[in-house]
A and B are shown apart, each in its own frame.
Chain A
Amino acid sequence: MSNLNAVSFREEQGRYKGIFAWIFSTDHKRIGLLYLYSIVSFFLIGVLLGAAMKLELLAPGKTVMDPATYNAIFTLHGVIMIFLVVVPGLPAVFGNFMLPIMIGAKDVAFPKLNLLSWWIYVFGAIIALSSLFMGGGPPDTGWTFYAPYAFKTNTNMLPAVLGAFILGFSSILTGINFIVTIHRLRAPGMTWFKMPLFPWTLYGTGWIQILATPIVGITLLMIVGERVLNIGFFDPALGGDPILYQHLFWIYSHPAVYIMILPAMGAISEIIPTFANKSIFGYKAIVISTLAIAFVGYFVWGHHMFTSGMSGTALYTFSLLTFIVAIPSAIKVFNWVGTLHKASIQLETPFFWAASFLFVFMIGGLSGLALGALATNVHLHDTAFVVAHFHFIVFGGVGFAFMGAIHYWFPKIWGRMYNTRIATSGWIIFFIGFCTLYLPMFFLGVTGMPRRYYDYVENFHGPNIVSTIGSWVLILGLVIILTNLIRSAYKGEKAGKNPWGGRTLEWTVDSPPTLENFEEIPVIDRGPYDYRKNPES
């Protein structure tokens, strides 16, 4: 068997050949890569839709598309980016690939279920995207599917809503799989507080996936019921209440923000100590704040609905809780900065992504507090400010962490090193493009430009031009990054086991890892970020 172990998981010969060796593989690493390829494809579609919107907003009036097309495009952009890219994003790609290796396991607890999750994901994606090609036109409600418009519009709502429901199922199964894996398959000696932080955040994420996703599942089924059976739960004409839909929708969709951001924070918590060559500052504080975010995140959904009509008590409570949920995130930022203090920092591409993550995440987080305060919220609600805020969190936070993670784990996944100079120049162009794209939207929002409009008055022209140019710069950066990575996956220099000097378990196995990751399951006798004494390998 030692002969078999010498082959990496990419070259392993299984029961099937060619593409079937991948799409029927139960190996967590192959499934992780399947997710990566599908998610990156959908991400590129989402980026193009986003760029089309920015192009429309280049000038007032009709520029390249009519209002109905614009409505369809922002809906699809939202549905694709949220349900197909960001929610599965880090957990499904890097969680699948890295979680078992980081906790010293050979695979996840349920490998077949893991493969099934991917198939359900693909099935849900096909259903959701089929809404584009059926008669009636693509959905135009926004990704939130607000009632009653979601069952009054004549566009193809059913496939979009059903697709989102099916994708939720995939997300739940992944969550169950990870929680059970972490409970049952940690290597001997790896106690809870010797577990690296990325698995910790996946654990928090798993609980949110399990405990929040079913609510949106049933809510989407109710929308289906409204459209098909006229059940009237959210239809004022039949005695229903549309506001109730908003409550049920956000009970899931706010925690979903933490499904997105927690694994991103986990990836950043891996990158920073490695490139600081230093143990992470306040390990337990990060763990506890992760669990605190997962918990308090359930009770803040009302802040999406400050202008929808709620009692004063509810408004104050939700606003207070929103401020409270910001504290654990701030603790994390403090810990990351604390880790960098007096460290001898390796200036490599993943570190640049992590550092810029801190920058954009701070802007996103602080602008979130401006929205969480009741008085300013009334002014800023449904303006470009909100769009800028959540893009700083979801694209800036999660997107930058994803980019950081892919540059960090690239040598482990493909066993080759990318060209760091091109990667770093790609990063700086992307970063400049990102800020040029979204910063003007804060100013536009404060001065009153509403979101989701294809048109605007002449006063808003200047910042909109800047923003659109930013979108082109961002795409240029993205193209450079992707070309570099794809080229390096085939032609890059061979990478060793541990190119960055990381201390977590994934850096002790081969690059790329063998099918079973470890020849022998390791026994853990030290913390995950122990940079004081030399590790054995």
Chain B
Amino acid sequence: MSTIHLHRDDEASKLGMWLFIFTELLLFAGLFIVYGVYRYLNPVAFHLAAEELSVTVGTVNTIILLVSSATIAMATTAIRLKNKQLTILLLLATLFLAFMFMTNKYFEWKGKFEHGIFPGSEDLLRLGHGDTLFFSLYFFMTGLHALHIIVGFVLISIVCYRVNNNSLTANNPVLLDNSGLYWHLVDLIWIFLFPLFYLIT
């Protein structure tokens, strides 16, 4: 039974990860279609609703995610340079930035909830169809994105743990590489969400 699992193919693992990233992109693509259709049908309401969101918070979160993408990319190089401490440091920095992103998100959502804006709320119904759809999309899409941040957070934590106990080293960095790819995907999706919800006003 054991002989069969000695086979290791890093190229295959990366190819598999890329294919998985395609599926993730398509998952969000469905939502982008819905966004596109309702923006086309309710241009004025979407325009006004977008002004309700804070561009500052959005920009800060964008910068946080971009920097975290850079830190994890550096971690994939650091592990190849056999610098264990730097790798762990960079991974911890990524985790910290992910945590910061989620904290900002929490306060942003909390602010909206306090103003009575959440899916199915009465205030939202009073504002009309366009606003309802805009904020439903906002919560649904950023919520799904936040879920991906959490998954990435868990993944990077596992990588960090395995680097620390030397089961992930310069000889087999593929799990770190794949986590990096996943994290870039999460980043990339945010790069589209940010202008769609915050900037087009």
Given the contacts A180-B16, A241-B37, A213 and B23 also touching, CB distance less than 8 Å: yes
Per-residue contact bits, chain B 103-147, to A (CB 8 Å; 1 contact, 0 not): 000000000000000011000010011101100110110001000
A213 to B125, CA, bound (A): 33
Contacting pair A110 B22 (CB below 8 A): no
Q: Which of B1-53 contact A (CB under 8 A)?
A: 1, 3-5, 7, 9, 11-13, 15-16, 19-20, 22-24, 26-31, 33-34, 37-38, 41-42
B34 contact from A1, A13, A180, A244, Cβ within 8 A: A244
B22 contact from A107, A210, A241, Cβ within 8 A: A210
Among listed A232-240, A260-268, A366-374, interface-contacting one: A232-240
Given the contacts A111-B5, A211-B22, A218-B30, A233 and B12 also touching, CB distance less than 8 Å: no
- A217 an interface residue at 8 Å Cβ cutoff? yes
Per-residue contact bits, chain B 90-101, to A (CB 8 Å; 1 contact, 0 not): 000000000000
Q: With a CB–CB cut-off of 8 A, which chain B residues contact A219?
A: 30
Instruction: Determine which residue in A13, A111, A225, A231 has the highest number of CB atoms from chain B within 10 A of its CB, and name it.
Output: A231
Q: Which of A177-234 contact B (CB under 8 A)?
A: 177, 179-180, 183-185, 210-215, 217-219, 221-222, 225, 229-233
Contacting pair A211 B26 (CB below 8 A): yes
B41 to A: closest C-beta gap in Å: 8
Contacting pair B132 A238 (CB below 8 A): yes
A238 contact from B29, B33, B125, B139, Cβ within 8 A: B125
A342 to B200, CA, bound (A): 67
Q: With a CB–CB cut-off of 8 A, which chain B residues contact A215?
A: 26-27, 29-30
A179 to B: closest C-beta gap in Å: 6
Main secondary structure of the interface of A (DSSP, over half): helix
Q: With a CB–CB cut-off of 8 A, which chain B residues contact A106?
A: 4, 7
- A480 an interface residue at 8 Å Cβ cutoff? no
Contacting pair B133 A176 (CB below 8 A): no
Contacting pair B27 A217 (CB below 8 A): yes
Interface residues on B, range: 35 or more
Q: With a CB–CB cut-off of 8 A, which chain B residues contact A14?
A: 1
Contacting pair A210 B24 (CB below 8 A): no
Instruction: Determine which residue in B27, B29, B136 has the highest number of CB atoms from chain A within 10 A of its CB, and name it.
Output: B136
Q: With a CB–CB cut-off of 8 A, which chain A residues contact B42?
A: 239
Contacting pair B34 A230 (CB below 8 A): no
Q: With a CB–CB cut-off of 8 A, which chain B residues contact A210?
A: 19, 22-23
A233 contact from B11, B125, B130, B136, Cβ within 8 A: B136
Contacting pair B30 A248 (CB below 8 A): yes
A229 to chain B: closest residue by CB: B119
Given the contacts A111-B4, A244-B37, A233 and B30 also touching, CB distance less than 8 Å: no
Given the contacts A210-B23, A211-B26, A215-B26, A222 and B34 also touching, CB distance less than 8 Å: yes
- A12 an interface residue at 8 Å Cβ cutoff? yes
Given the contacts A14-B1, A218-B28, A231 and B119 also touching, CB distance less than 8 Å: yes
Contacting pair B12 A109 (CB below 8 A): yes
Closest 8 pairs (CB-CB, A-B): A239-B129, A230-B120, A218-B30, A214-B26, A231-B136, A214-B27, A229-B119, A14-B1
21 contacts between A and B (CB under 8 A): A12-B1, A106-B7, A107-B4, A111-B4, A176-B16, A184-B9, A210-B19, A211-B22, A214-B29, A214-B30, A218-B30, A229-B119, A231-B140, A232-B129, A233-B137, A239-B129, A239-B130, A239-B133, A248-B33, A248-B34, A515-B4
Residues of B within 8 A of A (CB): 1, 3-5, 7, 9, 11-13, 15-16, 19-20, 22-24, 26-31, 33-34, 37-38, 41-42, 119-120, 125, 128-130, 132-133, 136-137, 139-140, 144
